[in-house]
Chain A
Amino acid sequence: MRPQEGAPIAPGVPIEAAQGTRWPSYRHPRSWHYSHWDQPGQPSTTQFPSLSTTQFPSSSTAQSPPWANGRRFHGRRMHHHLRGMHRTSETRVLAGVCGGMSKATGIDVTLLRIGFVLAGLAMGFPVLVYAVAWMVVPMDQETTNIFSRAINDRRGIRLVVALIPVVVITQIFVSVLHIGFIGFFGWPVLLAVGLTILIWRNASEPERVWIDHDLVPMLSMGSEGSGRWKLILRVSAGALLAAGGGVVLIMGHTSTAALRPLAGVVLVIGAIVVIFGPWWLSLVRDLMSERQARALAEERTQMAAHVHDSVLQTLALIQRSADDPQNVVRLARAQERELRGWLFEGRPPGTFSEDAVMLGEGVGLLQHKIEADHGITVQVVLVGDCPLTDALRALLDAAREATVNAAKWSGAPQVSLYAEVEAHAVMLYVRDRGVGFDPDAVPADRQGIAQSIRARMARYGGKVVIRSSPGDGTEVEMSMPRSTNSSTTTSTISS
């Protein structure tokens, strides 16, 4: 995919992100969340989702709306309370339903939570009640609930409808295996799962960010479970399932009569799978493509951030130094180099390895530095590559001297650097088309540089030939013998 000129950098990303102000939710979802939701003068918690929500005074009057102040449960006013009920975001463990109920009724939030969990485990349907409440009760500071958005979400509704055959299959299984309590327990839970899909798709933006960044990682099995309680949750869920499975197995063992209807069940299930299978597949594909779209949006955000950090900054600098052409060229060249490294070589921006391991990296580093420091183009051609040895580092140092020399004195806008790895030596040529000079009558300072190049090379047995004549540019030819034990890489048979 190529970035197009004039096209928005990242469709699907909020305008602020594309314009430079980062979209904070991707980088610091938590801090953003807090700054948004925390009430002034209210204790703020640093861990989220918080298990220690009970640290909040549950019957705190300071944070309750005035109409809920100190009220206790009264049948006649119940309806009024529930209509004005809002889910609480600041003390939420899951959806904030218990917190909202606690505010509306005055019952201690911890009691409500324990009640919900126990009732849910025992009967199942409170789970469904919770999910329905999640949809119907609006979040505090919001006027609409999730349900009002969900009824227009046709794809989400299709997904939920697709779950119905699953419920049916479960019921058939359960009735055949005579484990009614699972059926009694199972259908509300499955329906609640269905509703969760709708909730996930239709939650408001802040809630969605919270779900994506705090709730989903908490439940995901593949994530690096650093929190101990996540592990406990996962293990206990696994243990429950294993125990359930064990019970079913034992029951199946004792009642062989169940085997005959089982065949019928398998047939029915097969029929349902045949009928609904392709549809499920397409729905799964839909879900996957939605995930991919989200990943893409995130990638675009990162891309926008990178373009902002590098290209836009450089453009701003260029505008500011418009009266200094030398500097403009230098900035543009350095930026071009970095962008190329990022686009074509996959090198993260701003990380030009200081200690190169291979000759090619070393040459690239040399090119990058000289282009940035001297505002000239260094055209590099490299044939073959090999690991850097001390001798080859000396060769690179000499090449740097020669290139800087050309940048300073030749007056040419471009210097060519050609390196070829041969079987027994590395050849390196630095050539410019500048003013050139008469090698027999060089100024003392240039002689010094030539000497320093020669000295570096001579220490490792390398050779230097300098060819130049006035008006015809200069070429420095350097050859460094390779140590025999590292001649395993690509090489050219010299003709």
Chain B
Amino acid sequence: MTESGRPRIFLVEDHAVFRAGVRAELGNAVDVVGEADEVAAAVELINERIPDVVLLDVHLPGGGGQAVLHGVLPHHPEVQFLALSVSDAPEDVIAVIRAGARGYITKTISGGELLQAVYRVAAGDAVFSPRLAGFVLDAFAHSTAIGPDPIAEGGGGPVGAGGSAGLDPELDQLSPREREVLRLIARGYTYKEVARDLSISAKTVESHVSSVLRKLQLSTRHQLTRWATDRRLV
């Protein structure tokens, strides 16, 4: 953060029109420290300027948003990524989350919501759209978890989340409370409304969501690994 408390933002997006639109919408609330329109330039500039939050387009010439995540997170794990895309297909969403993004929003999001998402990611929390919550509920639908698969652990490697062991069976299941939280988010509730509905604090909601994000990144559940590898190119 700068002295003024404004998060330092970096924009990675290949459509100049959309970049200009995001700049205008975020206005003075954030500090845009740089822009890039392709993977190589993005990786170089982000590693050089180390922003708080990177707004990352999933579909990017030169390897896609994932390539930027793989190029930055090993060197600067403190940089937070918020992915955005026109497509909300599970293959795109899950792949970029498992590569280390802290949240995912679609490009039709309003300016106010975008700003809120940026602040939340800057604070280290996860941003779950209703759609993403739905995907997670779908992927973790059957409570009988598939046993940990050491082969699946080896390839691709999720980054960014704490280095805990991948053999934790807890990772392949959602707790009843997490399920409740996700279901409310999928119904269109804000974190504040979820907290009120479940009579818990907003902080507790955020920790549940962060825990789900960790499971999403590390779980070896079949559907997640399939979504993450079924890259569609549109």
User: Which chain A residues have a beta carbon within 8 Å of chain B's beta carbons?
Assistant: 1-2, 4-5, 340, 343-344, 377, 379, 381-384, 416, 418, 420, 429, 431, 433, 475, 490-493, 495
Asked if B134 and A381 make an inter-chain contact with CB atoms under 8 angstroms apart, the answer reads yes
> Given contacts A2-B234, A5-B16, A493-B142, could you give 13 more A-B pairs where the C-beta distance is less than 8 Å?
A2-B61, A344-B234, A381-B131, A381-B134, A383-B138, A383-B141, A383-B186, A416-B130, A418-B134, A429-B187, A431-B189, A475-B187, A493-B143
Chain B nearest CB: distance from A50 CB in Å?
45
Chain A residue numbers with a CB within 8 Å of B134 are 381-383, 418
Interface size range of chain B in the complex: 20 to 34
Residues in B88-122 with C-beta less than 8 Å from chain A: 89, 108
Q: Considering the chains assembled together, what is the distance between the CA atoms of A233 and B180 in angstroms?
A: 71
Chain B nearest CB: distance from A288 CB in Å?
22
Chain B residue numbers with a CB within 8 Å of A2 are 59, 61, 233-234
Asked if A492 and B137 make an inter-chain contact with CB atoms under 8 angstroms apart, the answer reads yes
The 5 closest A-B pairs by CB, nearest first: A416-B188, A495-B176, A381-B134, A418-B187, A381-B186
Asked if B15 and A420 make an inter-chain contact with CB atoms under 8 angstroms apart, the answer reads no
User: Which listed residue, A5, A381, A416, A475, touches B17 by the CB 8 Å rule?
Assistant: A5
Residues in B119-146 with C-beta less than 8 Å from chain A: 130-131, 133-134, 137-138, 141-143
Could you list some 6 contacts between A and B, CB below 8 A? A381-B130, A381-B134, A383-B186, A418-B186, A475-B187, A492-B137
| Given A383-B134, A493-B143, residue A343 in contact with residue B234 (CB < 8 A) | yes
Chain B nearest CB: distance from A117 CB in Å?
52
Chain B residue numbers with a CB within 8 Å of A377 are 108
User: Which listed residue, A1, A344, A495, touches B179 by the CB 8 Å rule?
Assistant: A495
Chain A residue numbers with a CB within 8 Å of B138 are 383-384, 490
Asked if B183 CB lies within 8 Å of chain A CBs, one says yes
Q: Considering the chains assembled together, what is the distance between the CA atoms of A381 and B233 in angstroms?
A: 23
Q: Considering the chains assembled together, what is the distance between the CA atoms of A475 and B15 in angstroms?
A: 37
Chain B nearest CB: distance from A424 CB in Å?
15
Q: Considering the chains assembled together, what is the distance between the CA atoms of A316 and B173 in angstroms?
A: 51
Task: Name the residue on A nearest B179 (C-beta).
Answer: A495
Asked if B87 and A344 make an inter-chain contact with CB atoms under 8 angstroms apart, the answer reads yes
Q: Considering the chains assembled together, what is the distance between the CA atoms of A2 and B87 in angstroms?
A: 12
Chain B nearest CB: distance from A471 CB in Å?
13
User: Which listed residue, A343, A379, A382, A383, touches B188 by the CB 8 Å rule?
Assistant: A379
User: Which listed residue, B89, B141, B180, B232, touches A490 by the CB 8 Å rule?
Assistant: B141
Chain A residue numbers with a CB within 8 Å of B86 are 340
Chain A nearest CB: distance from B221 CB in Å?
13
User: Which listed residue, B61, B141, B232, touches A491 by the CB 8 Å rule?
Assistant: B141
Q: Considering the chains assembled together, what is the distance between the CA atoms of A280 and B187 in angstroms?
A: 62
Chain A residue numbers with a CB within 8 Å of B14 are 4
Asked if B187 and A5 make an inter-chain contact with CB atoms under 8 angstroms apart, the answer reads no
Task: Name the residue on B nearest A492 (C-beta).
Answer: B141
Chain A nearest CB: distance from B206 CB in Å?
20
Asked if A418 and B130 make an inter-chain contact with CB atoms under 8 angstroms apart, the answer reads yes
Q: Considering the chains assembled together, what is the distance between the CA atoms of A162 and B72 in angstroms?
A: 51
Task: Name the residue on B nearest A427 (C-beta).
Answer: B183
